[in-house]
Chains A and B, each alone.
Chain A
Amino acid sequence: MNLKKEFRLKHIVLSLLSSALMLSILGLLSHVKTNLHKTVGDIVLSLNMQTATANAVTSVVTFFRGIDTVGEVTVLFLATTGIALMLSSTQRTYKKVVHQESFILDIGSKMLLNVIVLFGVYVIVHGHLSPGGGFQGGVVIATAFLLLFLANPNMKLKHSILTLGESLSGAAYVLIAIISLFKINILLGNFLPHPVSQIGELVSGGIIPIIYIIVGIKVGSEMSVIVEYFVKEDYLKEVPHA
């Protein structure tokens, strides 16, 4: 291993200094813990009953900071567009990879795909009850497709369905924002009934689960396309041009 040759006194001093920094942060945390006055978190938690979601983080992400989420989704869309533009400039003629797959790998990856997609859907749908939500669940679904691509390189995604889902969900998000602006004069406000007595149930919280399902579809399709571009580009280079 050539790791030991590089390890000099300078690095030891640097690591000690950064450890001291971390220790000072820990001291700061204990100071905060003893002086609990009125932080932003307390104010948000006291206002959480308005949105009637069991997960307070969800109400922050989709209600109190809803316009930020719209911006995040736009940033992700732009990143996907950039990757597609950059990687699709080469010639897109995939040659069939001659790849002796084992039966166990093929069947096992397809079985695991169902389980992982089911977990992703669970994380998306229960975003307002338990940790997780649209972003996390969408990426979980994309990792399922990554597994499928690694096991079977000749796999192809149906881009028409992905494009349709991605654009329709993006349009629906903006449409919900505009409808709530006209209905209750709040951008991304909760215009569906959301009684506090239903807190903790699967169908509760008004438009918040709907927004998370929309975000999940959008993120899942975008991330799947990114993964497909990376894997396919790899195999494209591996096959020599005849």
Chain B
Amino acid sequence: MIGITILFTFLAILSVAFYAILSKDITQSVILFMGVGLGSVVLFFIFQAPDVALTEAVIGTGLSTAVFLLGIRHTSIDKEMES
């Protein structure tokens, strides 16, 4: 049972990661990258590493996504000002 959960989480992470690479919209890409982090949180927790799971949940899906989104907003405003 736990093996099936692990397998499906791996496949979900892989598919989300491929969509993140293939998508043209960079905001969509960042949100999908957050999905990769969420899947890794589940995997870390199953493999009995709650410390790493907490770190990934806080940094990988929380702070880094916010910083990425702020950076995207910043650079896209620059482009509008140039044109």
Q: Which residues of A contact B (CB under 8 A)?
A: 2-3, 6-7, 11, 14-15, 18-19, 22-23, 26, 55, 57, 123, 131-133, 135-136, 139-140, 142-143, 146, 223, 226-227, 230-231, 233-234, 237-238
Given contacts A18-B14, A19-B10, A19-B11, contact A234 B74 (CB under 8 A): yes
- Residues of B at the A interface (CB closer than 8 Å) are 3, 6-7, 10-11, 14-15, 18-19, 22-24, 50-51, 53-55, 58-59, 62-63, 66-67, 70-71, 73-74, 77-78, 81
Q: How many A-B residue pairs have CB under 8 A?
A: 71
User: Across the interface, do A140 and B67 meet the contact criterion of CB distance under 8 Å?
Assistant: no
Tell me what chain B mostly uses at the interface: helix, strand, loop, or mixed: helix
Distance from B68 Cβ to chain A, minimum over Cβ atoms (Å): 10
Q: Is the interface of A mostly helix, strand, loop or mixed?
A: helix
CA of A7 to CA of B18 in the docked complex: distance in angstroms?
A: 10
Please state if A3 and B19 are interface contacts (CB–CB under 8 Å).
yes
Once A3-B23, A131-B51, A136-B54 are accepted as A-B contacts, the answer to whether A237 and B59 lie under 8 Å apart by CB is no
CA distance A6 to B23 in the complex (A): 8
